[in-house]
Amino acid sequence: MKKIKLIALFLFGTGAAMQAQELDVNLQIRPRFEYRNGYKQLLQEGQEGTSQISQRSRLNFNYKQEDLIVKLTLQNTRTWGDVAPTAPADKNGVAVFEAWAQYNFTEKWSARMGRQVLSYDNQRILGEQDWGQQAQSHDALTVSFHTEKQKLDFGGAYNSTAENVLQTPYTVASYKALQYAWYHNQFNEAFGLSFLLLNTGYEYAPEPAPSTKLLVDYKQTFGPYIAYKKGKIDTNFWAYGQTGKSTDQQVSAWNAAANFNYSITDSFKAGLGYEFLSGKNTNDASTVIKSFNPIFGTNHGFNGYMDYFYVGNHLNNVGLQDAFVKLNYNVNKWQFALIPHVFLSAADVVTPVEKLDSYLGTEIDATFGYNFKKDITVSGGYSQMFGSKTLEFIKNGDAGHTNNWAWLMISVNPRIFSWKK
């Protein structure tokens, strides 16, 4: 404990003697076993599934001094066995997941700069992607205005590969520049309304090498998120449009969804949901991008846990319709969920010889969680995809194969040091 305190004081400084200071240090160890047998894509004939264990290890420093708040999160992600037991160095090393400083100018106004998580509403467009062991954070500057009922955040980012002295292509698989604004009004305890405007610019070279000309096209994503929760009713709705340009192509896409949940008892909740993400007909020869892209959303939490759609795949495709039922049951330290999905394409799927049915398949997701004891939780699940001929065409696999996925995760999150002055 003494060593941790010395490290923390070195990182953040001792501060003025009369100023109030707080420091919390916590740790996360999160290994996860996965059996992947048709995960993300249908297995092809002759292919076999696989298993592995991944792990996230995090060390979080949270420091507060009067109007100054600082956070530093160090992180290592690994697959068990990706380096030999005698390896002199780790494959991924230690990364900085978060490193930001926030200054509160007044009770309402604040600014935050550095590596940070951008997460809003239900995380459909901007989210942490916490399921991924690496998660997601941005190098950005954000400014916030928060009152009891209203919140306004706006921020931006500008990315480069290094400290260059000449124009250099941005080769990282990310945006070159980003600006956003998010407004939320909590009208009362039950009803809240948000509006998000996101402008993302991606760099590209309009001419082949050795031309050095570089351009940035901007795409806009915008729309409202509405949530209503009162008594036994919990419902939400969102609608987002996308416009602008991407690599000199026009963008015209949209996304809308509605969810309704009802608490039948204190332990049992049932819900219905439907989401539409626009797509493009497979025989559409136009250059207009009509397929909606959730961009930085926590996509694992949507459209089935087997990640067939929008988790590093299915972009610029036929879109998606997702109709589902959600059943949740909580008792004592246990949480159970059963979520069947029915998937259909949002645009026409046309082969050289025929137009295929829009039905893509049915996925069944079953999960559980158990609060083993303080700071330790155990969770797991099983999912199975019953794909169609249309899904075979899109994913280039065998729907007749048993395509399933199972996982088990243990999360240990102890607070290892807390100090207040």
Q: Is residue 15 part of a domain?
A: no
- Asked if the structure places residue 383 within a domain, the reply is yes
Asked if the model's pLDDT at residue 4 lies above 60, the reply is no
Q: At residue 306, what are phi and psi to the nearest 5 degrees? A: -80, 0
Section 138-148 average pLDDT: 97
Instruction: Give, in degrees to the nearest 5, the angle at Cα 188 between 186 and 191.
Output: 70
Q: Is residue 393 part of a domain?
A: yes
Cα angle at 310 between 355 and 159, to 5 degrees? 130
212 part of a folded domain: yes
The better pLDDT of the pair 110, 395 is held by: 110
Q: How far is CA 146 from the centre of its chain?
A: 24
pLDDT at 276: 98
Distance of CA 251 to the CA centre of its chain: 22
Q: Which of 262, 264, 295, 261 is nearest to 277 (CA)?
A: 295
Q: Are 194 and 181 in contact (CB under 8 A)?
A: no
φ and ψ at 302, to 5 degrees? -130, 155
User: What is the pLDDT confidence band of residue 2, given thresholds at 50, 70 and 90?
Assistant: low
- Cα-based distances in Å from 45 to 309, 391, 403, 405: 21, 15, 12, 18
User: What's the rounded Cα separation, in Å, for the pair 393 and 407?
Assistant: 27
CATH number, domain of 340, equals: 2.40.160.100
Owning domain of residue 196: 23-162+170-420
pLDDT at 211: 73
d(CA 415, CA 126): 28
Question: Is residue 1 over pLDDT 70?
Answer: no
Q: What is the pLDDT of residues 167-191, one digit of tens each?
A: 899 999 999 999 999 999 999 999 9
pLDDT digits (tens, 9 = 90+) for 61-95: 999 999 999 999 999 999 999 999 999 889 999 99
* pLDDT over 60 at 15, yes or no: no
> pLDDT tens-digit profile of 258-269?
999 999 999 999
Residue 213 has pLDDT above 70, yes or no: yes
Measuring CA to CA, how many Å separate 371 from each of 200, 379, 380, 406?
A: 40, 9, 12, 20
Q: What is the pTM of this model?
A: 0.92
Q: For 287-312, how does the pLDDT look when each residue is reduced to its tens digit (9 = 90+)?
A: 999 999 999 999 999 999 999 999 99
Q: Which residues pair with 152 in a beta bridge?
A: 145, 183
Provide, rounded to the nearest whole percent, the portion of the chain with pLDDT above 70.
96
pLDDT at 208: 80
Mean pLDDT of the residues in the chain: 94
In a domain, 1, yes or no: no
Task: Tell me whether residue 58 is in a domain.
Answer: yes
Q: Is residue 11 part of a domain?
A: no
Model confidence pLDDT, tens digit, residues 359-368: 999 999 999 9
Looking at the structure of the chain, the number of domains it has is: 1
Is the predicted pLDDT of residue 12 greater than 70, yes or no? Answer: no
Element containing residue 70 per DSSP (H, E): strand 68-79
- 200 part of a folded domain: yes
